[in-house]
Structure 1
Amino acid sequence: MPGAGPPDPATADGESRDGDALPEARPTPMMAQYHAIKAEHPDCLLFYRMGDFYELFFDDAVKAAKALDIALTKRGRHQGADIPMCGVPVHSHETYLARLIRSGFKVAICEQSEDPADARKRPGKTLVERAVTRIVTPGTLTEDTLLEARRHNYLAAYAEAAGSAGLAWLDISTGDFQVQPLDRATAGAVLAGIEPGELLVPELLARQPELSQAMAPWRDRLTLLPASRFDSINGRRRLEALFGVGTLDAFGAFERAEVAAAGALVDYLNLTQKGRLPCLKPPGRLHRSAVMAIDGATRRNLELVRTLAGERRGGLLASIDRTVSGSGGRLLARWLTAPLTEPEAIHRRLDMVQAFVDNDRLRGAVRTGLRSCPDIERALSRLSLGRGGPRDLAAIRDALAAAATLRSLLAEPDLGGIPPELEACATALGDHAPLIERLTGALAAELPAACRDGGFIAPGWDPALDEQRRLRDESRRLIAEMQARYAGDTGITALKIRHNNVLGYFVEVPARQAAKMPTGDGAPFIHRQTIAAAVRYTTTALGSLEERIARAGDRALALELAAFEALMAAVLASADAIGRTAEALARLDVATGLAELAASQRWCRPVVDDSLAFQILGGRHPVVEAALAGDDGTPFVANDCTLDEHRLWLITGPNMAGKSTFLRQNALIAILAQVGSFVPAAAARIGVVDRLFSRIGAADELARGRSTFMVEMVETAAILNQASPRSLVVFDEIGRGTATWDGLSIAWAVVEHLHEVNRCRALFATHYHELTRLAAKLKGLGCHTMRVKEWQGRVVFLHEVAPGTADRSYGIHVGRLAGLPGAVIARAEQVLETLERGEPSSAVTRLADDLPLFAAAARPQGLAEPAVPPFPLEAALRDLDVDGLTPRAALELLYRWKEQWAPSAGS
């Protein structure tokens, strides 16, 4: 169990890991070294390498032991108190590291910077030199075990300068680097789109109430830094030095705040990676108007990436994701969270998807090739940071080989003309034949996880390495021969030649047979060590052979490490071209995935233009439709939505009739269209939506002092203050969190404001039927309702949207479906009838005087509640033997039921 381990003499520090070390009157050299390193990293847990363990001491040990649920021990004393200690094995430390990072800790990795064997060669009681090689934070993760394959892990920085604000973000594991100008009002919406794993903010700015409120959702991910880290002049110098350019103008025109934020990111990486920076792409500038603005509330309400419960499954992303690689999955998520607003760019994406929709064979072949493609972006990043291994080289090799195959596919003459976007992808796949050939020839078939394990260079690649391996392996054969000879000479069949890191090679015999061993002057065996069950010896010949083996093994490993460095240098020399290949592979994955989705789900290509049109014919909700198909195959009821002369739809109808689904599906169709995807509809034409707002559902934010109604009003205010004629607004049940007349008044005023001031396209669902009177005076308002059918006192929801208004909400019917007691349902119907007959105030007074519900509560025990009359069709269905019916009998039965019940149902 992690936390305590056996003494490890390999530490060479003159101390073991044993928690029972003698009390210390003053710090030992090792503890003095620990304190010095810890003092440089006070805000981090220090993973202090001791042999095969990372140790933690003092408060770090207490915190880590609690977070990891591992044993807390002690070693010696410091200032009169025991020193708490815990540890984790080096070989499995990533598992524990991930748990600590998820718990909000930062971890400094302190490695032994020299070989313990070299330290032992120095005179006196020596200490192994150690140094922090990296600081692991939530935004600087690179290991696959710490990351989600289909999700970016962004490190972001916010800065202000010269009266403007800027945000920069990068993914150290892929090299993706972006900047965007913004202001405090829009910072929250942009952050909601990228969901950073860690956010750097100047200390002084973070204390300002307005900005503090915008950053509140990311409070547990904030890293506060001195303002000096966000200096735009130093930031510009860092960026120019990083990318080797004389001026950043080569990458675009950046505002000072953007440069300050981007420079702070590079500075933070330099600090946490100890001067070794990853391969980063030049920063791309995202213009505010280039993407659809979607605030955090709308993203949550529409469940774009995750459901309201925080699950990926059930969100839009999971529902449409048909990508077959991690990089493709990440790119799709990036597209989905930042839909485009330029029709030409959207059409280029749609053209590429269309090409794969039209060509099943090509789509299948490309997807097959992509399935064998490793995550080239993350492998390249680890190599550039010096954390890569032989398997990362193999990942580069295999991905480039897959890219070569795909390039050949896209160059086939029978394809005819391909769209420009697809042609650009084919070009970006590049020609990496020499590098593929070199990596293929150099790497062995079976590869270890780490370079230190050796054996990753293929036989025949390096003659000098082959020679050292032959000597090493031959020496091992000689060890076996020597063991057999010694066993024969002594007559001790149990004699073995073994090896450990302390004694090296030694002869071992059982203690009871030690007397048979010839020792002393002139004898071949020299005593080395006695343990409980055995006695250990050496010989001059064994020592000579051991030195030969060690030399051959060390030389072999040194040659392999040199070969690895040469191969890694060759890869990094082509890093830019490999990065372009990785991006092209991801784009192909997204395009073929969206084409597969469109072809299999009968989605159509939308028309996206600069008009204010919003015409959806036969629209469906992509997530709900998929869920129904996965359950029992129930078909989804498609609906049209045309916002033309009636750009604002007022939708009435009962609960459970499908209002919220209809609202969401149209918002999602707009997003999908501007992502560059086909959409779940028979036909669609959408004028570009610049901002999408959604006020759906209710949730308290009690921790921030906000009730459900307060949250509703804050979100409504944001919509009314920001929506433009190009925006799409979706409102569901405004005003229901307060008194009836207050709520109706607010909803009434909101509808008028949307129509007269915002003049945007909007869907407004409500139970306030009084709002339908606005249609008489608001020319751009159209009334629609969810169709229902009443059947012998029951209600059937048809889930169809039709022009008109609902005369009632059928709330009592929904209560019956939910299982409310019969007495409650009966009383509710009585109260409703009374309220609908007269003035609400006088009716309420009469009802309160009676209180029959409480009289019913006093009914003597044993008296059953009034039975609800059975519904004849339900009884007939319950008694029906479906398996015993022939098709003809079933048809006759349907005709008979129609004769019996259709007239009484009023149909």
Structure 2
Amino acid sequence: MSSNVTPMMAQYLEIKAEHPDALLFYRMGDFYELFFDDAIAAAEALDIALTKRGKHLGEDIAMCGVPHHSAEGYFLTLIRKGHRVAVCEQLESPAEAKKRGYKAVVKRGVTRVVTPGTLTEDTLLDARRNNFLAAYATVRDEGALAWVDISTGAFSVLSCDAAGLGPELARLDPKEVLLTEAGEAELRHIVEDAGAAITVLGNAAFDSTNGEKRLSRVYSVGSLEGFGTFSRAEIAAMAAIVEYIEITQKGKLPLLRPPMRETRTSAMQIDASTRRSLELVRGVNGGRAGSLLSVIDRTLTAGGARLLERRLSAPSRDLDQITARQEAVAWSLEHGDIAATVEDRLREVPDLDRALSRLSLDRGGPRDLASVRNTLAQAETISETLPDELPHVLAETAQDLTGQGPLLDLLDAALVADPPMLARDGGFVASGYDAELDEFRSLRDEGRTVIAGLQSRYAEQTGIAALKIKHNNVLGYFVEVTATHSEKMLAAPLSETFIHRQTTANQVRFTTVELSDLETRILNAGGRCLEIEKRLYSSLKDAILEQAAALFNLARGLAEIDLTAGLARLAREENWVRPKLTKGREFVITEGRHPVVEAALAPSGTPFVANDCDLSDESIWLLTGPNMAGKSTYLRQNALIAVLAQMGAFVPAREATIGIVSQIFSRVGASDDLSKGQSTFMVEMVETAAILNQADDRALVILDEIGRGTATYDGLSIAWATLEHLHEVNRCRALFATHYHEMTHLSDKLEAVANATVSVKEWDGDVIFLHEVKRGTADRSYGVQVARLAGLPATVVDRAKVVLEALEQGEREGKQKAIIDDLPLFSATPAPAPQKTAPSEVEARLKEILPDELSPKAALDLIYELRGLVRTSE
């Protein structure tokens, strides 16, 4: 290092060398500053000014900076653009640094590394969604996926091979995934497809033997057996997460709940393409709007909203669990008055999970303490509102709402109603809670009053009514009497209390030990108040964290109650019904509706056309009908009804009986994947192959227009063979939409295949969509009519009709090619312009009228005249 490097820059370079892969936010007073390449990258990403600060090795040092009080927004922008941020704080004040020497540099160090999966601040997170950090590990050909939301403490793990990683990442939507170097090379494309950032850790982080010890230390247990039986791969994945959190949080661990072990058979399996197709939690544009989640969300708390998304993303396959959830929703629906009272209280419930996490990481503040207090108060009220007799799910959660009376009393007594954001601002401890704090506040806020009281006491003690206590910048506070009273003050016994300080022409000034002490306390009162409040904050935080396990259970209970009440209100408002779930293969929907489409139609007053579906005996319906008739909507609505039923919700139908669905597969819509060099047809075939290779006999498959991306006979043969495979091999329940009418003959050959069609009606050459699904087949696809509705030029539509008639005639006569050869070439001659005709009597009369000159009577007479002309022309 060059000898002319300043001590500050030497410190910067040393710290930067420890974090080469992150942008170093180096605290300088009220700003975070970035230098060299970090400054260039940050200035471009944040669109802020790039400046210079001195030279290094003969070159200008690039620099940019942001205010520390608004840095969180900049962190989020950088993270979204793929950067990591190392936050370097001042670990001492400049005054403390000067004690070590005049040129001593303030000590600094990185206090955290901000990454997509380790955010905790409310300003950086969506309160209604989890923010998962995941890790994938492989031990002796066995894989496992672990994930944690450090902002809520939720920690889970799942045995999962590489083939199952994609669907699980699609379900969890993690923001960051930890991999080994070998794993990164093998799995990068899967993680990138899920939209997550990749972080590579050394193999030591995934060591299962040391990892078990690390996890045991985190939970202060001798063994993990109390939490369940975990495989070596599961331990390795969890251990990697814990190590990464310790690295990024610089040794501080958030409150992590005991790990929950999940199994792939516990939830309905839904792969990534099916999730996109069904738009479960994201609409077609990638946002929440237009998704099923946006339509069904009636939750009132952040915890309830996160629980709803998790349930919707992983519908249960446990019949007893589903039934218990349905019973809770049914109870809330029947007891609307109680549910309404509970919902009023839920509106006042803060985000307890995230408040606890921030407190555990020392990123919290007085408002987090107040969040705990307010949550406990509302939980106590909700508990008192609920009756003793409750369904199993609600009875369990109600038990978690009680037992925190002492903590609530403590926080109630200690905190003001609306505390500030930061502890350093002070003013959050209530008056009367701490006597010492009250005393110093009195000195700080009422110093003059305290001095006046002391002056009155001294005047009474000395018998000198003219005695005054005054203040100046030289002596500070002092007692002043006139010269005539000075002899009394200087004589015993008053001289033992009053110490002479100064004599002027007309006054004599004294001090006392009490007054000197009081002066010191007044001058230091503000600082002492902050010190005391910080100490009290720490003690209150510790009291809360001691009850962390019970508070997490309470938060979980409130989320369950909120979700249950929300689903009940949804059922009441939208007229949804409780579905019947069985262990069989039934799938009978009576007057089912698509919840998202119905919600979109509601503002216009257009009713949604409900339809039936029965896949119990004939488990595959082959659906024909024109485009725009509603086939895709029908396919999706039945899949969504199955998802809603198994998450424990009521469904949009008049009746529904569903045998537990193990998997849902959807191949609906067309898209290419240019990043992989895959055409629309290739994407379609890849997704179809995944369905045929994975679907079991309890799966529900919806397929739309298989084979449309290639030649007609190629497409027909692929669709034909696909349907046969579903019938003979997969033996699943399926809805298969197609324009290949030839396939309708399969219903005669395959016993479990039935034909269905979407009704339409022709009127004056136009096609009217009735959106009604009925048994039978469509006679044609009405493609030309739909093209006309879409606005194709009339010449194109007319030409298409001619070609269609020729092709159909050729197919009937068996000489298609000969007839095609005889077709005249397309003529692009525009349609003749309409001929001009002489104006009618009415038009001629109208041209003569001057509206501004007509009186009301004349206008009325004119109307009768025009009417007479119309009759004459008829």
TM-score of the superposed pair, with normalisation by structure 1: 0.83
1:123 offset after TM fit, Å?
3.0
Tell me how far 1:847 sits from its aligned partner: 4.4
Equivalent position to 2:348, from 372, 378, 381:
372
Match of 1:655 in 2: 627
| Aligned residue number for residue 746 of structure 1 | 718
What's 1:422 paired with? 394
Match among 138, 142, 146 for residue 120 of structure 2: 142
Whole-angstrom distance in 2 between the partners of 1:216 and 1:76: 41
- Counterpart position of 1:669: 641
CA contact under 8 A between 2:51 and 2:62: conserved in structure 1? yes
Cα pair 1:199 1:218 within 8 Å, conserved: no
Q: 2:729 matched to which residue of 1?
A: 757
The one-letter amino acid paired with 2:728 is: E
Q: Which residue of 2 aligns with 1:827?
A: 799
> In the TM superposition, what whole-angstrom CA distance separates every residue of 1:179-235 from its partner, at most 9, and x where no partner exists?
000111111001100000100011112213xx3443331465111111221111111
* Match runs of 1:194-209 below 5 Å: 194-208=172-186
Q: Which range moves more in the overlay, 151-160 or 452-461?
A: 452-461
Instruction: Give me the whole-angstrom Cα distance separating, in 1, the residues matched to 2:675 and 2:190.
Output: 15
What corresponds to 1:554 in structure 2? 527
Partner of 2:322 in structure 1? 346
Separation of aligned partners in 2, 1:356 and 1:474 = 55
Distance in 1 of aligned mates of 2:140 and 2:377 = 49
From 462, 467, 470, the equivalent of 2:442 is 470
The answer to whether the 8 A contact 1:730-1:764 is kept is yes
Q: 1:266 aligns with which of 242, 245, 255?
A: 242
Partner of 1:679: 651
Rounded to whole Å, the distance in 1 between the matches of 2:444 and 2:815 is 102
Q: Which amino acid aligns with 1:736?
A: R
Question: Cα–Cα, structure 1 residues 180 and 319, in superposed 2: closer, same or farther, change >3 Å?
Answer: same
What one-letter code is carried by the residue in structure 2 that aligns with 1:45? Answer: L
CA distance in 2, matches of 1:214, 1:103: 20
What letter is aligned with 1:447?
A: P
SS in 1 for 2:327: helix
1:769 maps to 2:741? yes
| Structure 1: distance between partners of 2:753 and 2:829 | 46
Q: Deviations over 1:382-425 (max 9, x none)?
A: 001110000000011001110000100113x6xxx311111001
- What SS does the aligned partner of 2:771 have? strand
Matched, 1:440 2:418: no
- Partner residue of 1:712? 684
* AA at the equivalent of 1:117: A
After superposition, the C-alpha distances for 1:502-548 in whole angstroms (9 at most, x for unaligned) are xxxxxxxxxxxxxxxxxxxx9x9xxxxxxxxxxxxxxxxxx999976
RMSD: 2.3
Which residue number in structure 2 is paired with residue 72 of structure 1? 50
Q: Percent same amino acid among aligned pairs?
A: 55
Cα displacement (A) at 1:474: 4.1
- Whether the 8 Å contact between 1:292 and 1:691 is mirrored in structure 2 is yes
The offset of 1:173, in angstroms, is 0.3
Equivalent position of 1:215 in the other structure: 191
How many aligned positions are there?
775
Cα distance in 1 for residues equivalent to 2:835 and 2:78: 57
CA distance in 2, matches of 1:844, 1:438: 90
Q: How big is the shift at 1:842?
A: 5.3
Looking at structure 1, the residues matched to 631 and 44 of structure 2 have their Cα atoms a distance apart, in angstroms, of: 48
**Runs of 4+ in structure 1 over 6 Å off:** 476-479, 543-547
* 2:333 paired with 1:361: no
> Would the alpha carbon gap of residues 544 and 100 (structure 1) be closer, same or farther in structure 2, given more than 3 Å must change?
farther
**Amino acid corresponding to residue 409 of structure 1 in structure 2:** T
Residue 163 of structure 1, CA deviation: 1.9
Q: CA deviation at 1:121?
A: 3.1
Select 2:26's aligned residue among 26, 48, 72.
48
For the structure 1 residues 761 and 372, does the alpha-carbon distance in structure 2 shift closer, same or farther, using more than 3 Å as the test?
A: same
**1:786 aligns to what?**
758
SS in 2 for 1:282: coil
Structure 1: state its 5+ residue gaps.
Answer: 1-23, 480-496, 499-521, 525-542, 867-907
Q: Which amino acid aligns with 2:531?
A: A
Out of 319, 325, 330, the position equivalent to 2:295 is 319
| Aligned equivalents of 1:845, 1:463: Cα separation in 2 | 105
Kindly provide the CA deviation profile for residues 31-56 of structure 1, in whole angstroms up to 9, marking residues without a partner as x. 11111111111111111111111111
- How far the C-alpha of 1:853 sits from its partner, in A, is 2.9
Q: Deviations over 1:324-345 (max 9, x none)?
A: 1111100000000000001001
Does residue 808 in structure 1 map to residue 780 in structure 2? Answer: yes
Give the equivalent residue in structure 2 for 1:242. Answer: 218
Cα distance in 1 for partners of 2:597, 2:653 equals: 14
Higher alpha-carbon Rg: 2
Tell me the amino acid that sits aligned with residue 174 of structure 2: P
Aligned to 2:382: 406
**Residue 723 (structure 2) pairs with residue 723 (structure 1):** no
| Secondary structure of 1:710 counterpart | helix
Q: Distance in 1 between matches of 2:412 and 2:317?
A: 44
| CA separation of 1:68 and 1:546: change in aligned 2, threshold 3 A | farther
SS at match of 1:734: coil
Task: Name the CA distance, whole Å, in 1 between partners of 2:3 and 2:318.
Answer: 72
Cα displacement (A) at 1:116: 2.1
Could you tell me how far apart the structure 2 residues matched to 1:123 and 1:545 are?
34
Quote the residue 2:106 is aligned against.
Answer: 128
Q: Is the 8 A contact 1:476 1:549 kept in 2?
A: no
Kindly indicate whether residue 281 of structure 2 is the aligned counterpart of residue 305 of structure 1. yes
Match of 2:263 in 1: 287
**Paired residue secondary structure (1:133):** strand
CA distance 1:315–1:855, shift in 2 (3 Å): closer
One-letter amino acid of the structure 2 residue matched with residue 747 of structure 1: A
State which of 160, 181, 194 in structure 2 corresponds to 1:182. 160
CA contact (8 A) 2:759 2:769 kept: yes
Q: Which residue of 2 aligns with 1:601?
A: 574
Shift of 1:852: 4.5
Q: 1:100 to 1:865 in 2, by over 3 A?
A: farther
> In the TM superposition, what is the alpha-carbon distance from 1:471 to its structure 2 partner?
2.2
**2:861 matched residue in structure 1:** none
Q: Which residue identity lines up with residue 614 of structure 1 in the other structure?
A: F
Q: Which moved more, 1:343-352 or 1:443-452?
A: 443-452
Whether the aligned pair in 1 keeps the contact of 2:667 and 2:703 (CA below 8 Å) is: yes
> Counterpart of 2:444 in 1: which secondary structure?
helix
Q: Contact (CA 8 Å) 1:653, 1:809: kept in 2 or not? A: yes
Q: Which SS does the other structure have where 2:612 is aligned?
A: strand
Q: Deviations 1:713-771 (Å, cap 9, x if unpaired)?
A: 00000000001110000000000011111000000000000000100000000000000
Distance in 2 (CA, whole Å) between partners of 1:198 and 1:655 is 41
SS at match of 2:251: coil
Residues of 1 paired with 2:208 and 2:522: CA distance?
57
> What's 1:6 paired with?
none
Instruction: Name whichever of 778-787 and 447-456 sits farther off.
Output: 447-456
Give the aligned residue type for 2:672: D
Paired residues of 2:139 and 2:233 also in contact (CA < 8 A) = yes
Deviation at 1:816, TM superposition (A): 1.2
The Cα of 1:317 is off from its aligned counterpart by: 0.5
The code of the aligned residue for 2:267 comes to V
CA distance in 2, matches of 1:202, 1:452: 42
Trace 1:322-341 onto structure 2 (pairs within 5 A): 322-341=298-317
Q: Assess, with a 3 A threshold, how the Cα gap between structure 1 residues 218 and 803 changes in structure 2: closer, same or farther.
A: closer
Residue 58 (structure 2) pairs with residue 85 (structure 1): no
* Structure 1 residues 342 and 446: CA distance shift in structure 2, 3 A: closer
Q: For 1:128, give the aligned amino acid.
A: V
Task: Give the deviation of 1:91 after TM superposition.
Answer: 1.1
CA contact (8 A) 1:290 1:341 kept: yes
Cα distance in 2, alignment partners of residues 428 and 54 from structure 1: 44
Conserved? CA contact 2:592–2:612, under 8 Å: yes
Question: CA 1:550–1:40 in 2, change beyond 3 Å: closer, same or farther?
Answer: farther
Distance 1:470 1:378, change over 3 A: same
1:617 equivalent to 2:595? Answer no
TM-score, with length taken from structure 2: 0.86
